[in-house]
């Protein structure tokens, strides 16, 4: 199929290298990208981002036409005590990926996070707002963004937020599990963001690749690079998100939880400080790529199903 598409659209066959293929976004990417060409998703043992220099040999052997970096160190609290490992995976490794992508002329898509901001802005953050991360995880992701952009080449940084899905460790799966184990759950109600389903992130990424690489009968390649915000429309708190999850749980009869209690961040101290309001504005992404994600409310029932 890839060769046929290449002949029909006058472009070389597409080979996409996906890091973190078993994670939330990575798993969905391997499904969403199948129609575009060959998808190569090495295991962590085969392509370990904690060993950046060893990555070069693997990337050169695969010879991708596009690289999507869906792997990351995401243990936000543990990062406070594992700064070096966090920066190796989230900052140094993306720079190596960018260098190798530029060397072979491949497209690079790298994911970042709303946690590069401090959450003090009342309006949704736009791409030109000055980052000010509050924790090591956010600092490392910001450093990764800068490593990618400094290398140059054809690259996109897609900032997303509050990612959840059927695979990997995430808030939705945790709430569903705890609701079956406990009679009461306490959830923070003073942190605001936009829950974003991993499948929609993957689908939007496939759309970006199609447009950028000129895949499709009427596609005109888009050459714009830079940073874009890719999140759901709307916003909510962790507490309200948890309430919606439990209310729409298809297996609600299995829940033991009878009380969902909103609490403040002060009542649930963590090693890492979180931004109070890290909502991102997706207008730039929509304008460039002609696509915007639906509201978080409309995504949730689809993800639960």
User: Could you report the per-residue pLDDT of 31-64, keeping only the tens digit for each?
Assistant: 899 888 889 999 888 999 998 888 999 999 999 9
Which pLDDT band, with edges at 50, 70 and 90, does 6 fall under?
very low
Which pLDDT band, with edges at 50, 70 and 90, does 154 fall under?
confident
- The mean pLDDT of the chain is 90
What is the distance between the alpha carbons of residues 199 and 172, in angstroms, rounded to a whole number? 14
Walk across the sheet containing 38-40 and list its strands: 38-40, 15-19, 66-69, 107-113, 155-160, 226-229
Highest mean pLDDT among 110-114, 154-158, 206-210: 110-114
Q: Is 75 exposed, middle or buried (0-12, 13-18, 19+ CB in 10 A)?
A: middle
Write the CA distances from 2 to 136, 201, 282, integer angstroms.
41, 23, 31
Closest CA to 268 of 189, 193, 183, 184: 189
User: Is residue 274 scored above 50 in pLDDT?
Assistant: yes
Task: Fold for 2-169+196-232+280-293, please state it.
Answer: Rossmann fold (3.40.50)
What are the extents of the domains in the chain? 2-169+196-232+280-293
pLDDT of residue 221: 63
First-residue to last-residue Cα distance in the chain = 30
∠ CA 106-110-116, nearest 5°, is 150
Closest CA to 136 of 82, 184, 177, 64: 82
Could you report the per-residue pLDDT of 78-132, keeping only the tens digit for each? 999 999 999 999 999 999 999 999 998 899 999 999 999 999 999 999 999 999 9
List the catalytic residues: 137
pLDDT of residue 7: 43
What is the distance between the alpha carbons of residues 291 and 221, in angstroms, rounded to a whole number? 15
Give residue for tokens 């109070």: 276
Give me the DSSP letters along 6-31. HHHHTSPPPEEEEESTTSHHHHHHHH
């Amino acid at each position: 199929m890839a060769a046929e598409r290449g002949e029909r659209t006058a472009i070389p066959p597409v080979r996409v290298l996906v890091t973190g293929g078993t994670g939330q976004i990575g798993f969905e990417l391997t499904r969403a990208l199948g129609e575009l060409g060959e998808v190569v998703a090495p295991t962590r043992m085969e392509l370990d981002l904690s060993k950046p220099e060893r990555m070069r040999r693997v990337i050169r052997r695969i010879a991708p036409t596009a690289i999507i970096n869906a792997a990351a160190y995401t243990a936000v609290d543990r990062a406070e005590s594992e700064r070096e490992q966090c920066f190796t995976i989230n900052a140094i490794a993306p720079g190596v990926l960018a260098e190798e992508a530029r060397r072979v002329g491949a497209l690079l898509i790298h994911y970042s996070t709303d946690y590069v901001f401090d959450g003090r802005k009342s309006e949704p953050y736009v791409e030109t707002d000055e980052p000010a991360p509050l924790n090591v995880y956010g600092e490392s992701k910001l450093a990764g963004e800068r490593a990618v952009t400094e290398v140059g080449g054809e690259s996109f940084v897609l900032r997303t937020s509050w990612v959840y899905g059927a695979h990997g460790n995430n808030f939705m799966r945790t709430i569903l599990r705890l609701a079956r184990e406990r009679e009461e759950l306490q959830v923070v109600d003073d942190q605001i963001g936009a829950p974003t389903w991993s499948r929609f992130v993957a689908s939007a990424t496939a759309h970006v690749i199609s447009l950028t690489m000129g895949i499709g009968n009427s596609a005109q390649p888009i050459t714009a690079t830079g940073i874009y915000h890719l999140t759901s429309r709307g916003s909510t708190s962790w507490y309200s998100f948890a309430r919606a999850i439990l209310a729409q749980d298809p297996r609600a009869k299995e829940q033991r939880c009878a009380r969902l209690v909103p609490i403040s961040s002060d009542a649930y101290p963590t090693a890492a400080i979180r931004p109070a309001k890290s909502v991102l504005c997706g207008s730039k992404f929509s304008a460039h790529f002609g696509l915007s994600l639906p509201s978080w409310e409309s995504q949730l029932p689809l993800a639960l199903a």
